[in-house]
Structure formats: C-alpha cells, structure tokens
A and B are shown apart, each in its own frame.
Chain A
C-alpha cells in the first residue's frame, strides 16, 4: 500500500483536454454560452470605442482651433448666455481695437487677433451671394492654424488703417470665380471694392467657423462696414501651454485698467473647455462600459446555468469518475476548467468581434476615431474570465460533492 502515500493528481494537460472534450461533446450548449460571453465582451469593446471615439473627436476638434488659445469676449457672463447682472448694471463697455493692441504688450502673450464678424453680400462678374465676413489682422491665420492655398494673408499694417483687401475661403473662390484665377481680382463686398490677395485651403466642416465660406478683411474695414466699434472677440495665443493662466491674468489686468477698474469681459481658456469635454466624455465612456459590463455579468450567470445543466446531465459520469478514484479536487478542477474555457473562448471571440465592429465603424465614419481604449479591453476581458470562473465555482463544487452511489444510479 506504499502507493497510497503519493497523492492522486490529474495532470493539467489531461484536465484541460478532458474539459475541452466535455465542452465539445455538447456543441449547442457550448456555442450558446460562448456566444453570450462574446456578445458581452464585444459590447464592451464597441461601446467604449464609441465613447472614447467621441472624446477623441471632440478633443481633436478643439486642438484644431489653435494651440494655447485664450479668448476674450465682451461682457461678464461666463458662458456667453444672458446674465441678469449685466442687464441691471450697465451694458458692457466696448472691446476695441486699442484694447487688443494694449493686450499685445502683456509678456505672456505671443500674438493675438481681434475679430469682428458680420454678414454681407459679395459679388463678382454678376454673381452674388451672402457671406460671413471676419474682420481681423494678419495673425489670425497662424493662431487658428488656417492655411493659404494661393496668394498671401492680410498685410502687416496699422490695425486702424484697414486697406481694401480680402482673403477668401475655398468655396467662395470656386463659386465666384469658377476656374478663373482669384488672386488679384477686384470683388465687391457690401459697398466696398476689395482686391483678393489670398485664398484659404479647403478644410471642410469643423467645430469652429467654416472657413470655406468666409471672407477675411482687415478689422478696421470690417468695423467700418458694420458700423461698430466693438470687437466680437480677441483671440490670444499664449507663449506656451504653461503661460496660459498668466496670459489670462495679464489680459484681465490690462482690460480692467483700461475699462476704469471694471472687469467687464469674459476670458475663456481653451484648456478649461477642453478639459471639461475630456472629463465629460471620459465619464460617459466609463458609464457606457459599466452598462456593457452588466451584459458580462449576465453572460457569467449563463455560463453558471450551462455548467449546472452540465453537472445534472453528467451526473452518471461524475459518479463513474468518483468510482474510478477521482478525488473531489479533480472533479472540481475539471468542471472549473470547462467553465473557464467557455468564458475564455467567449472573451476572445467577443474581443475579435468588437475589434471588427470598431473597424467597421471607422470605415463607415472615417472622421470618427472609434478605437476601444486599452483599459476597457483589459477590463472587459478580465471581467469575462473573472465572472466565468466565479460562476463556474458553484457548479464545480456541486459536481464534486455528489454522492457517488446516487450519481452512479443516474445513467
């Protein structure tokens, strides 16, 4: 009886092969539970790809607005909406070209562009259309990352002078000039005759203004055209990312001094907006992942049901294994291995399905970066395996605890 001192232990490879054969022995059952698990994992992958894609899309759009950007708006309200405090006190003081020139002296400010906007009519050779007119200075283009297709930007001149030139968007160019060259031509905008000095590159629709249908003119000219003294906005580029808060402080201080100690402007930093969206959409992705994770838990419960059915179906076999000398541990491991296999295969299939789904999304919507974030993939896969194992424990224990005499009678 010396052999009784060595512990009976089924080899790992044998346990796995036995579990695999058992799973393959019931194809429908196995397919269904693998399917449930894979749908759960695929849901996590695709939904988080959507959520994170939305986040990346918005962040990308904001970055394309220009880097290290600080915007000054006339008026006190933080969101740009109606603020009753403004109505009760006084209308805000104008934000003028001179204000903009003064801000340029702030050490943290690299360059800036005052902006006045309005709509007007443009005509050339009998063709007429309504356009958005932006009055600004030379630096708007580099600040907003706008690129020229032909010609040059606005001249570097006294901001109050306003020479009769214009830079037009790509769509305006094709609509007004067709195949003719545009640069050097005289166009009529409102009641002014302006010479086209440059054409912007086509960029398509973005979160900012659509430059394809824009006419850019010197700021003083635009103010004269629209008969206004105030600016719509001042776009400021800070010297660096770190200098953004400084630029904001200095801008506010200069304007407060110029406006008789009244802080009647709103300064928005791009970072703050970006961070808000980033956080918001990040949380959204997390929430969506959480909802998808519920389907993983459901899949886990399904694996448990399938394994419980397996234990009932194979009661006779379990009795036999016991009679043949399998200790409880061996039976537990065999059933646990089977549950783990179902969820592993389900997780892998689901991962591939999810990646394929995200790929399809990216093909259909090329602008939308629908990549699942790594954390979601790892969390999805490990939740799948975890629930599979967790819910596999109970059926495995039940199998191991079966009374061999009773079990053998069920055949």
Chain B
C-alpha cells in the first residue's frame, strides 16, 4: 500500500473572470520512506500540490488516499487530526511563534494535541538534544540564527512523530552552508523511515532526492520513477 495515492486530482482557482488550473488530472503514488523532490517554475502548481498533500487545501475533483484512507472526504476537524498526528510541515520562512521560546515552539503541536506537560517536557528535551539546540531552549526566535530557527522548526515538525514531512523551500532563506546542514538533518530523518517531500527551486538540492517530480502548468511533466529509459 503506498503512503500517498493521488488520482485524477483537479484544483482550480477563480481569478476574476478567468479560471486557473493549478492542478489538472494529477495522479501520483509515493511509497512510505521515499525522498521526493518537487521542482518546477513558479506557478507550476508545486505549492498547491504540497498544500493538498498537507490537507491544507481540498481538490475540486479526484481522490487522495493517505495510508490507504480517503482523506478528501474527511471533515475539517478530522483533517486537523490527521495533520496533527501524521504530517509535519517545514516552511521557507520557518513560521515560529515570535513570543514563544525555542522549547515552547517545539512543544506547540503537542500542546495543541492535548498531550500532558510532563510528557511534552521529556520529548522536547530529547528533541533539543537531537537537534543541537539544548543551549537555546529558552531563546526566542529573534535571538536565534536562521539555521537555528529552521532546526527549531524541523524539531517541531517531527515532535509528533509524523509519517510524512512536507518541506516548502526549507533552505530558501538560508545561506549555502546552513542550508546544507538543514538538508542533512531532513535526510537523516528520511533515513529513519520518515517520508520526505521537498519543494525546491534548487536543482542541486532536487538532485539529492531519490525521486524527482517536475511540474509544469499544473501537470506532472517528469517523474524520475517512471522516466523512460
């Protein structure tokens, strides 16, 4: 059973009088544990695809099965539940809550899920150690470097032990060196069995993935898993 199974996905946006097909007739399967890079020019539909995979957006047509379960028909609260337990997000601009410390930002998904404070503290302490942030636990985001911020964000994305991590340009706001560090972190997580989907403009970053998807005009133009020859 594939982790992700998209079939016949359509996503249209109304922009004034014109309808834009952000995704059209998209079918795709991703197995558990895969490392997939999604590439393509701006407006090709890669962000829309990522939002759909993350259950932040709904398709106009088609079906999305996550771990064998049709998630397009779930209620918003049920989708929130799936996001909470199965999906972790890493954003280009980190999206840390500015008034919360590094430790509190990492604990946020657990707090939203109603996990008791004691268990939260244990898991946050472990995560801080794993990501080399143990000296930064009480720092607020504005007291952290870009690389540290993204490490906090990745710690947050993995704290609920999701099956799938969706990263949208995770190195876009970082210099080359820090970006490499962050990518190595994500790849290490993938090495432990977490499925990793990375949206990127950077061809060298895309080349590191086990599988490349190239989008254009809302359609899958190239899939290295089914590449001819």
Specify which of A8, A10, A330 lies most central, judged by the most chain B CB atoms within 10 Å of its CB: A8
**Pair B56/A328 contact, Cβ less than 8 Å:** no
Q: Which residue of A lies closest to B93 (CB)?
A: A411
B99 located at the interface, meaning its Cβ lies under 8 Å from any Cβ of chain A in the complex:
yes
Shortest Cβ distance from residue B85 to the other chain A in the assembled complex, whole angstroms: 5
Cα of A10 to Cα of B89 in the assembled complex, Å: 20
Q: Are A21 and B56 in contact (CB under 8 A)?
A: no
Return the chain A residue nearest B76 by Cβ: A328
B109-129 with Cβ < 8 A to chain A: 109, 111-114, 116-117
B76 touches A10 (CB 8 A): no
Residue pair A325, B91 in contact (C-beta under 8 Å): no
Chain B residues within 8 Å of A321, by CB: 108, 112
Residues of B within 8 A of A317 (CB): 97
Looking at the complex, which one of A14, A326, A404 makes contact with B56 (CB distance below 8 Å)? A404
Q: Indicate if B202 sits at the interface (CB-CB under 8 A).
A: no
Q: How far is the CA of A4 from the CA of B85 in the complex (A)?
A: 8
Contact indicator B84/A325 (Cβ below 8 Å): yes
A21–B99 touching, CB < 8 Å? yes
Closest A residue to B83 using CB positions: A325
- Which parts of A339-383 form the interface with B (CB within 8 Å)? none
Complex Cα–Cα for A404 and B55 (A): 10
CB proximity of B94 to chain A, nearest CB, Å = 9
Q: Are A408 and B95 in contact (CB under 8 A)?
A: yes
Is A161 positioned at the interface, with any CB of B under 8 Å from its CB?
A: no
Q: Chain B 67-91, CB within 8 Å of chain A: the 1/0 string?
A: 1010000001110111111110101
**A87: Cβ under 8 A from any B Cβ:** no
With most chain A CB atoms within 10 A of its CB, the pick from B80, B113, B114 is: B80
Known: A4-B85, A325-B81, A326-B80. A9 touches B114 (CB 8 A): yes
B78 & A323 in contact (Cβ 8 Å cutoff): no
- Among the interface residues B81, B98, B116, which one has the most CB atoms of the partner chain A within 10 A? B81
* B95/A320 in contact, CB under 8 A: yes
Beta-carbon contact of A329 and B51 below 8 Å: no
Inter-subunit contact A324/B56 (CB<8 Å): no
Contact of A8 with B111 at beta-carbon distance under 8 Å, contacts A25-B98, A404-B56 already known: no
Pairwise interchain contact B69-A324, C-beta atoms closer than 8 A: no
> Contact between A8 and B112 (Cβ–Cβ < 8 Å)?
yes
Task: Decide yes or no whether B54 CB sits under 8 A from chain A.
Answer: yes
Contact A322 B80 (CB under 8 A): yes
Instruction: Say yes or no for A260: interface residue by CB 8 A criterion.
Output: no
Whether B84 contacts A324 by the Cβ 8 Å rule is yes
CB-based contact B89/A323 at 8 Å: yes
Taking a contact as CB atoms under 8 Å apart, the answer to whether B56 and A329 are in contact is no
Q: Is the CB of B85 within 8 A of A325?
A: yes
Contact A10 B111 (CB under 8 A): yes
Question: Is A148 in contact with chain B by the CB < 8 A criterion?
Answer: no
Let me know if B85 and A324 touch, CB within 8 A: no
**Contacts A1-B69, A408-B56, A408-B95 known; A325 to B113 CB distance under 8 Å?**
yes
* Residues in B151-172 with C-beta less than 8 Å from chain A: 156, 160
In-complex Cβ contact of B113 among A8, A25, A329, A405 (8 A): A8
* Minimum CB distance partner of B159 in chain A: A324
Given contacts A3-B85, A4-B85, contact A324 B109 (CB under 8 A): yes
**Contact residue among B56, B77, B99, B100 (Cβ-Cβ distance under 8 Å from A323):** B56
Contact at A11–B114, with CB atoms within 8 Å? yes
Chain B residues with a Cβ closer than 8 Å to the other chain, count: 35
Q: Are B78 and A328 within 8 A (Cβ)?
A: no
Complex CA distance for A4 and B83, rounded to whole angstroms? 10
Which residues of B lie under 8 Å from residue A24 when comparing CB positions? Answer: 99
A57 beta carbon closer than 8 Å to chain B: no
Please tell me if A190 contacts chain B, counting CB pairs below 8 Å.
no
- Across the interface, do A323 and B54 meet the contact criterion of CB distance under 8 Å? yes
Chain A residues closer than 8 Å to B100, beta-carbon distance = 21
Which residues of the partner chain A approach B180 to less than 8 Å between Cβ atoms?
A: none
Nearest residue (CB) in B for A411 is: B93
Q: Chain A's nearest CB lies how many Å from the CB of B38?
A: 16
Known: A8-B81, A324-B83. A405 touches B56 (CB 8 A): yes
Nearest A residue to B108, CB-CB: A324
**A14: chain B residues within 8 A (beta carbon):** 111, 114, 117
* A328-B77 in contact given A1-B69, A323-B89, A408-B56 (Cβ < 8 Å): yes
Q: Which of B43-78 contact A (CB under 8 A)?
A: 51, 54, 56-57, 67, 69, 76-78
Are A320 and B97 in touch, CB under 8 angstroms? yes
Which of A4, A7, A25, A408 meets B82, CB within 8 Å? Answer: A4
Residues of A within 8 A of B160 (CB): 325
Q: Which residues of B contact A62 (CB under 8 A)?
A: none
Cβ contacts under 8 Å, A8 to chain B: 77, 80-81, 84, 112-114
> Which chain A residue has the least Cβ–Cβ distance from B116?
A11
User: Which A residue's beta carbon lies closest to that of B97?
Assistant: A317
Report the bound CA distance from A4 to B82 in whole Å: 7
Q: Is A386 an interface residue (CB 8 A)?
A: no
Nearest CB to that of A15 among chain B residues?
A: B111
From A25, A316, A326, B112 is in contact (CB under 8 Å) with A326
In the A-B complex, list the 7 residue pairs whose CB atoms are closest, starting with the nearest.
Answer: A325-B84, A25-B99, A327-B80, A325-B83, A327-B77, A404-B56, A326-B112
Return 6 A-B CB contacts under 8 Å, by A number. Answer: A8-B114, A25-B99, A316-B95, A324-B108, A325-B112, A325-B113
List chain A positions with a Cβ less than 8 A from chain B.
Answer: 1, 3-4, 7-11, 14, 18, 21-22, 24-25, 316-317, 319-330, 404-405, 408, 411
- Interface of B toward A, CB cutoff 8 Å: 51, 54, 56-57, 67, 69, 76-78, 80-87, 89, 91, 93, 95, 97-100, 108-109, 111-114, 116-117, 156, 160
Seed contacts A1-B69, A10-B112, A405-B56; 17 additional CB < 8 Å A-B pairs: A1-B86, A4-B78, A8-B113, A22-B99, A24-B99, A323-B54, A323-B56, A324-B109, A324-B156, A325-B81, A325-B82, A325-B112, A326-B80, A326-B112, A405-B57, A408-B95, A411-B95
